[in-house]
Structure 1
Amino acid sequence: MNRMIGACFRAVLMVMLVATPSLLVPGVSGESGQIVAIVAFFAAAFTIFEYGSTYPGMVEFRDAPPFNRLRYISLFAMVFCLSVIARGQTDTTTATQFLTSIGVLVGQAIDFPFSPVRLVVSMLPDTASFTDMVLLRAAAGMAYLISLLSMATFLISLRFTNWPMQATTAFNVWINLPTFDPTTGGDVVRRLIRDARFNILLGFLLPFITPIIVSAAASVFGTISVVNTQTLIWTVTAWAFLPASLFMRGIAMQRVALMISSERKRNTRRAEENGFVTV
């Protein structure tokens, strides 16, 4: 019962996440609202299935908070702040001006040649106005700031806690890493460290690669436009959230590898103290 209550609560949070841009940004059409409702329904159903089931599915670190909680908070913060910034284009308030100013300042600070923000702004067509460039730069700056804060918060939590070990339950690799098979492919520690390094490297390169891919696909799908605020919000959110999520996943997997290696050393030392010979 407790598991199902927690799963339903998480499903409500996912519905709020998906519906936030449609609720805050005016001018959403009826067809867009129906698509948002369908996506929110599937997100809620997937969340209930994952967190309501005893056995693992696809969500990693399900029983190792605060990993997924930090990721959800950072994702919701990105979607909410970008929705408020987009709302400020038609409904100017103190909150929209404040968040837009922060986004503009951060965007200008990191908008240098070959920077991720410069590459994002370059996705706009040549006919884009100066206002469109400022809006996209503000959205990119705000999303990038939130991603950096989320990674810093995760690193601080690792520094002052014994994550992923919990005080009440032991860490279960099968439940928290359901897509990782520890029985194949050689030593578990070496595989975890290899996957961790790959995730960190991909998280570093993704902010630079994504704008290039979007620009290359512009001839087929069309260029990004700030007129469609829904597309702007989710595109910039994905551009900033996915690299931060990969960084956090790589750091978490490296921490799990360190935990397993330390446990092996303790078991070996305990066996030697009891007179057993390790092979």
Structure 2
Amino acid sequence: MAFESLSERLQSSIKKIRGQSSLTEENMDEMLREIRLALLEADVNFKVVKSFIQNVKEKALGQDVMGSLTPGQMVVKIVHDELVELLGTEVSEINFTKKPTVIMMVGLQGAGKTTTGGKIANLIRKKYKKSPLLVAADIYRPAAIDQLETLGRSLDVPVFSKGTEVKPEQIVSEAMEYAKENNHDVILIDTAGRLHIDELLMDELLHIKEIAHPDEILLVVDALTGQDIVNVASSFNEKLSITGAVLTKLDGDARGGGALSIRHITQVPIKFIGTGEKLDALDLFYPERMADRILG
């Protein structure tokens, strides 16, 4: 599971503090040093680590923890609260105020964008009782269109597709009309990805944004990406003003720390997490639960 090694390291450094009868500046510094190393080794961005450690230290020193009878418990609570703060204090759901609600899925190739679009459509239909339409706007990878159509069939969600010969902008424009005529109240647009960020990709995504006026632009990122996740998220956010992130492959055994950095760096909430291959393996992201899990 992602965060496993981080979890183990954090828990062992906190356990040492728990065993102390009192908290001194010395054992506090020792614990913070271990937490810092644990976070850095887990691939958390160094700026994020720096401010995390600073906040924990300030709170611990400022809350009469030093003289308290249970310094360990106080420190655990401070670290826990700080983790929740880092991950985003509350659950961030999709805003369905506009009809149809337009959701644009963006991200690099291989992050799991197409599958995630299908999973979100499935969740929206079951949990919110909406009628979603999937739009195949990735014309550069014929496999992406096939994949979306296969997903649509297995989920019983219609897919709007024009093949690979029509420009993405035209596909999106026609899909918007189709959705209105057929009473679809949510439109999910699967856009093209690249192996890396380039001008052509961003220009196309900007054109689609201008046509569709999306209510949500969700950046799909692979939790196994590590440090680079921060650069990817920053670039997409700078160009498109994303409204949320979706973390995929959180069931992998990676260090997962890049995921902890996303919200702090972009100030954009993590909305969903993908936790496996199955089409219902997608959950809303609960920061509190994730912090609980990391701290065991």
TM-score normalised per structure 1: 0.27
Greater helix proportion: 1
TM-score normalised per structure 2: 0.25
Higher relative CO (Cα under 8 Å, sequence separation at least 6) belongs to: 2
Greater strand proportion: 2
